[in-house]
Amino acid sequence: MQPSPRAYVPFVSVDTMMRLVHRIGLSQMMRDLADYIEEDFRRWELFDKTPRVAAHSDVGVIELMPTADDALYAFKYVNGHPKNMKDGLQTVAAFGLLADMTTGYPVLLSEMTLLTAIRTAAMSALAAKHLARPDARTMAVIGNGAQCEFQALAFQAICGVDTVQLYDVDPAATAKAMRNLRTSGLTLVACHTAEDAVEGADILTTCTADKQRATILTDNLVGAGQHINAVGGDCPGKTELHPGILHRSDIFVEYAPQTRIEGEIQQLDPDHKVTELWQVVAGAAPGRSTARQITLFDSVGFAVEDFSALRYIKDQVQATGIAKNLDLLADPDDPRDLYGMLQRAAPDLAA
């Protein structure tokens, strides 16, 4: 018994996602994703929004990230387990689903481990487009793990960064990043300390993995005019910046109720002023106003960005036909006769 075509849901596997990235080109995909996110940020108030639902343990966190507009519902399942690296596993793994709000039927199921890495980098660069100095060309990346290369390439593609200064407590991670980026056209500088990495940098990106209150950047390392892209602080008890930096910066976040729980600003008083980035994108609030201003994007990732990413992948799947069809939904001829569908399938299943 063959499933009805209506029972099939397009499925983007890891292999399919990689094929899609290589077909489109990573830099172009990042620019496209930034455009989709920007479009959705301009209609931010139309989305259902809630801080992600998290289950924490001593070694990591598992989270669900839901949101919806009037047409589509999306959620992402994602984990964060820094200890996984020691076992040869990814620190972050994810998948996501997009559904039709009028029927409740899924319209896309996708891997999101790769997609989250690409989306996160595109979001970082989009924020910098609005917050960094227009002449910013040199970026420091402190933490050279799985997100590092995506960040470097997104800032190159979207912001025009041409020089990346790399530092990690593990020199092997920096060497890996140098190898992977050698044909990117970027000028790459391997640094021995965080101080060396931030010297002369216009943009400071921190993306470390350990779940702890760390001080990756001390207050004395940040100077006038720099933009800080704080990516690694993304759950309660995990931070990367000295509190003094926060007090000297104009802080921009995705969704304040979530960032106050998970971001760098968990170190501040609950009423400390922050600006949600959608307001800058929509022209409702200023971003950078002076060349000497220190701007900080306290990035934890928010469900609307994943909605944008899944919406983009859905459009690419429809245009290319590259996705696989997954038999995910029961679809009896008579919607009231689910049992009858089960019984009629018995001869075929026994064959």
pLDDT band at 345 (very low <50, low <70, confident <90, very high): confident
pLDDT band at 58 (very low <50, low <70, confident <90, very high): confident
pLDDT of residue 85: 83
Mean pLDDT computed over 14-18: 97
- For the structural domain made of 5-114+304-342, what CATH number should be given? 3.30.1780.10
**Beta 250-253 vs 295-298: how paired, if at all?**
parallel
pLDDT band at 5 (very low <50, low <70, confident <90, very high): low
Residue count of the chain: 351
Record the pTM: 0.93
Instruction: Quote the CA–CA distance of 265 and 241 in Å, as a whole number.
Output: 10
Instruction: Quote the CA–CA distance of 111 and 95 in Å, as a whole number.
Output: 4
234 classed as catalytic: yes
pLDDT band at 1 (very low <50, low <70, confident <90, very high): very low
CATH superfamily of the domain spanning 135-301: NAD(P)-binding Rossmann-like Domain (3.40.50.720)
**Beta 324-327 vs 8-12: how paired, if at all?**
antiparallel
Domain ranges of the chain: 5-114+304-342, 135-301
Q: Do domains 5-114+304-342 and 135-301 have the same CATH topology?
A: no
pLDDT of residue 4: 55
Please provide the average confidence, as pLDDT, over all residues in the chain: 93
| Percent over 70 (pLDDT), the chain | 96
Mean pLDDT computed over 208-232: 84
Backbone torsions φ then ψ of 72, nearest 5 degrees: -135, 145
| Percent over 90 (pLDDT), the chain | 81
Per annotation, catalytic residue among 40, 234, 298, 306: 234
Residue 137 identity (one-letter amino acid)? R
Return the beta strands (E) in the chain as ranges.
8-12, 53-56, 61-68, 72-80, 94-100, 106-111, 138-142, 163-167, 187-190, 203-206, 213-217, 227-230, 239-241, 250-253, 275-276, 295-298, 324-327
Residue 282 identity (one-letter amino acid)? A
pLDDT of residue 211: 56
Max CA distance (Å), the chain: 75
Mean pLDDT computed over 168-185: 97
On whether the CB atoms of residues 194 and 138 are closer than 8 A, the answer is no
**Whether residue 251 has pLDDT greater than 90:** yes
